Chains A and B, each alone.
Chain A
Amino acid sequence: MSNKVLVYIDHFHGEVLPISWESLGVGRKLADELGGDVAVVIGGQDVKDAANQAFHYGADQVYYADDSSLVDYRPEPFASLVSQIAREDAPDVLLFPTTTRGRELAGMCAIDLNSGVLPDVTALEVQDGKLTATRPVYAGKLIATVVCDSTPQIITTRGRAFDKPELDASRTGEPTQVDAPLPADDIQTQVIEYSEEEGGVSLNDAAVIVSGGRGVSSNPNLTPPEDLDEKGAEIWRAQQGFKLVGDLATVLGAAVGASRAAVDAGYIPYDQQVGQTGRVVSPDLYIACGISGAIQHLAGMRTSKVIVAINKDPDAPIFKLARYGVVGDLFQILPPLTEAFRSRLDK
């Protein structure tokens, strides 16, 4: 074993995705365990800053390609770049973050380097000098222990499964520039245009859902506009409450759901209803705000991995199912909760 680790740093127009630093953190730990170095590879245009940052997060060596043909990610030149560096550097382990780009690059490099890829790994262990990885399979219903018996062992690390390393600005180095691997004319794809994602996350397949129930409309401290009648005022209050739900969802990249009570009362459209007569969802995280947890709502979300409940009523049935609960006023809890996540997630 060469004891070397090479890590691909994924970025968008020079802005490194935090998950890349997590992969680098994994690489650093592995290299330390194996008694070797960790190198990093970055491709793009104007990526010198990102290259320097890699040293702060633990890289011993940084290879970067800076070329107009690499301004936008395209699979072929990026795979060729990584594979080329990997052939020269001959690491034992080649790490990628599990992003749309990282995953396919890892697969392509496995072909180039005649090795094997282990995607979306949630844990890594060195046993008797051999690396074993853990990854979920069958849509997370089972856990597999997987190994690759050739080098480099190509692994993509799942987001948030590993800690982000500390930034040490005093840790610096000189990055090594390399040439773009392919002549621009040889590249078979072209990025035509790009637009930022508008609109919310859809309930289907959402990994995180924040839902509001009847309790969302009951903030006594809000004064509705005078021209509204009683029903209108109730809906207005509910909309203010759902705005808080929406703010938290935005910070978490989550979809917004609702209980039947909220939909029936007209606070929110039916296609966001979670429950027996709405949608059945199974996200990794379900945050229920002002939802009591009647059985027909639970039927729609009980298989969520982690359930969090915020409700004024300490006897609300949902607390029996919730991993974490807060007995309190969602109007008081949601805004600081949103802020707490905002700062922790660098948003």
Chain B
Amino acid sequence: MNIVVCIKQVPDSAAKVMVENGQVTWGDAPLVMNPWDEYAVEAALLLQEEQGGDVTVLSVGGGDVDEALKIGLAMGCNNAILVTDPALERADSQATARVLAAAIQKIGDVQLVFCGKQAIDGDMGVTAAQTARVLGWPILSLASSIKMEEPLIRVERTVEEGRQVVEGNLPAVVSVVKDIAEPRYPSFMGIRKASRATIPVWTLEDLGLEAPTFHVSWPELNNPPVQEVTNEIITGDSPDDVANALADKILGEKVL
């Protein structure tokens, strides 16, 4: 049961993210493994404890991404792979999915791919489904629990209407949510191994891929408009009037 976990390196969620001169900055906040991906790593390690096999942590990014990959190794993953290429700077989700799929094929003999629900920088939430589509594998998304029911994989997921149990053939792609399990800390043994590890780096050429064209771009990035908190007291002739007026105001804020 070999599992690949796709991870992304992102700024820490507590970072003060801002736009300066059209560029995103996060001060000296550290870069960390995307929190949702930590859950994916944990889910993979739990399944490995049950089923055996190798867990490989895989990331597409710049050359400094090896910190997140090392955390994956320190948590207990057996291997780590970094895919990096100058042609992938500003890659859109489609390109990333195609690159991940190619890397997964190159790793070979992979039965499961785990991903976190979304990355907290782009908040796209489509990488798992897109990677599955490129691979031609089923996608079981938003899993809150995972079980092998040989030869199928069974997940429990939460959708708008309630909980659902879905089974899929292997190989498959699964995306996980936080209910899956608390991610373990890196062990000291893991830390020792990880800091010594040299992580293989693959380029587009290694994957046999041409430089992709990107369809999606972000021409502008802005700080959210500074909202002056205005305070408005709602009054009315009767509680019903007040209630209706308040409900309308709240709905007007588009927060529901």
- Report yes or no: A319 in contact with B233, Cβ–Cβ below 8 A: yes
- For residue A256, CB closer than 8 A to chain B, the reply is no
- Report yes or no: A140 in contact with B224, Cβ–Cβ below 8 A: yes
Of residues 322 through 347 on chain A, the ones whose CB sits less than 8 Å from some CB of chain B are 322-328, 332-333, 336-337, 339-341, 344-345
- For residue A137, CB closer than 8 A to chain B, the reply is yes
- Report yes or no: A188 in contact with B233, Cβ–Cβ below 8 A: no
Of residues 156 through 211 on chain A, the ones whose CB sits less than 8 Å from some CB of chain B are 160-161, 188-197, 204-205, 207-208
Name the one of B24, B97, B141, B234 contacting A100, with C-beta atoms under 8 angstroms: B141
- For residue A111, CB closer than 8 A to chain B, the reply is yes
* B residues less than 8 Å from A111 (CB atoms): 94, 97, 130, 133-134
- Report yes or no: B137 in contact with A188, Cβ–Cβ below 8 A: yes
A24-32, A34-42, A143-151, A217-225: which one contacts chain B? A143-151
- For residue A43, CB closer than 8 A to chain B, the reply is no
- Report yes or no: A193 in contact with B164, Cβ–Cβ below 8 A: yes
Mask: chain A, 294-334; 1 = CB below 8 Å from B; 0 = not: 00000000000110100000000001111111111000110
Mask: chain A, 79-122; 1 = CB below 8 Å from B; 0 = not: 10000000000000000000111011111101110111111100
The CA of A118 and the CA of B254, in the complex, are separated in Å by 20
The CA of A142 and the CA of B127, in the complex, are separated in Å by 21
The CA of A108 and the CA of B106, in the complex, are separated in Å by 22
Name the one of B94, B121, B243 contacting A116, with C-beta atoms under 8 angstroms: B94
Name the one of A79, A146, A191, A323 contacting B231, with C-beta atoms under 8 angstroms: A323
Write the chain A residue with the least CB distance to B158. Answer: A197
B72-80, B166-174, B183-191, B203-211: which one contacts chain A? B166-174
Of residues 212 through 228 on chain B, the ones whose CB sits less than 8 Å from some CB of chain A are 214-224
- For residue B28, CB closer than 8 A to chain A, the reply is no
The CA of A335 and the CA of B84, in the complex, are separated in Å by 57
- Report yes or no: B141 in contact with A142, Cβ–Cβ below 8 A: no
- Report yes or no: A118 in contact with B216, Cβ–Cβ below 8 A: yes
Mask: chain B, 224-256; 1 = CB below 8 Å from A; 0 = not: 100001111110000110111011111101111
- Report yes or no: A190 in contact with B129, Cβ–Cβ below 8 A: no
Interface class of chain A by DSSP: mixed
Mask: chain B, 125-163; 1 = CB below 8 Å from A; 0 = not: 111111011100111111000000000001001111111
Cβ of B42 to closest chain A Cβ, rounded Å? 17
* A residues less than 8 Å from B141 (CB atoms): 75, 100, 104
- For residue A261, CB closer than 8 A to chain B, the reply is no
Given contacts A138-B120, A340-B244, contact A104 B255 (CB under 8 A): no
Name the one of A115, A193, A328 contacting B242, with C-beta atoms under 8 angstroms: A328
The CA of A320 and the CA of B130, in the complex, are separated in Å by 46
The CA of A319 and the CA of B234, in the complex, are separated in Å by 11
- Report yes or no: B94 in contact with A117, Cβ–Cβ below 8 A: yes
- For residue B93, CB closer than 8 A to chain A, the reply is yes
* A residues less than 8 Å from B172 (CB atoms): 188
Cβ of B152 to closest chain A Cβ, rounded Å? 8
Cβ of A307 to closest chain B Cβ, rounded Å? 8
- For residue B123, CB closer than 8 A to chain A, the reply is yes
Given contacts A107-B126, A120-B125, contact A305 B97 (CB under 8 A): no
- Report yes or no: B220 in contact with A144, Cβ–Cβ below 8 A: yes
Among B93, B166, B255, the one with the most A-chain Cβ atoms within 10 Å of its Cβ is B255
- Report yes or no: A104 in contact with B126, Cβ–Cβ below 8 A: yes
- Report yes or no: A149 in contact with B243, Cβ–Cβ below 8 A: no
Given contacts A75-B139, A323-B253, A339-B243, contact A107 B160 (CB under 8 A): no
Given contacts A106-B126, A115-B215, contact A325 B232 (CB under 8 A): yes
Name the one of A99, A139, A321 contacting B229, with C-beta atoms under 8 angstroms: A321
- Report yes or no: A323 in contact with B232, Cβ–Cβ below 8 A: yes
- Report yes or no: B94 in contact with A110, Cβ–Cβ below 8 A: yes
Cβ of B20 to closest chain A Cβ, rounded Å? 11
Given contacts A100-B160, A137-B121, contact A119 B126 (CB under 8 A): yes
- Report yes or no: A141 in contact with B250, Cβ–Cβ below 8 A: no
Write the chain A residue with the least CB distance to B247. Answer: A340
Among A74, A148, A326, the one with the most B-chain Cβ atoms within 10 Å of its Cβ is A326
- Report yes or no: B256 in contact with A345, Cβ–Cβ below 8 A: yes
- For residue A269, CB closer than 8 A to chain B, the reply is no
- Report yes or no: A192 in contact with B130, Cβ–Cβ below 8 A: no
Write the chain A residue with the least CB distance to B11. Answer: A138
Cβ of A282 to closest chain B Cβ, rounded Å? 11
Can you name 18 A-B residue pairings with CB atoms under 8 Å? A12-B160, A75-B132, A76-B138, A104-B128, A104-B129, A107-B130, A115-B94, A117-B93, A117-B126, A120-B123, A136-B224, A138-B11, A150-B215, A189-B138, A285-B250, A332-B239, A333-B242, A345-B256
For the complex of A and B, 6 pairs with smallest distance between CB atoms = A107-B126, A116-B215, A336-B243, A188-B138, A340-B247, A116-B216
* Other A-B pairs, 8, CB within 8 Å; known A145-B221, A160-B254, A195-B164: A75-B138, A110-B130, A142-B221, A146-B218, A147-B219, A252-B256, A284-B256, A326-B242
Interface residues, chain B, with chain A CB atoms under 8 Å away: 11, 13, 17-19, 24, 92-94, 97, 120-130, 132-134, 137-142, 154, 157-169, 172, 178, 214-224, 229-234, 239-240, 242-244, 246-251, 253-256
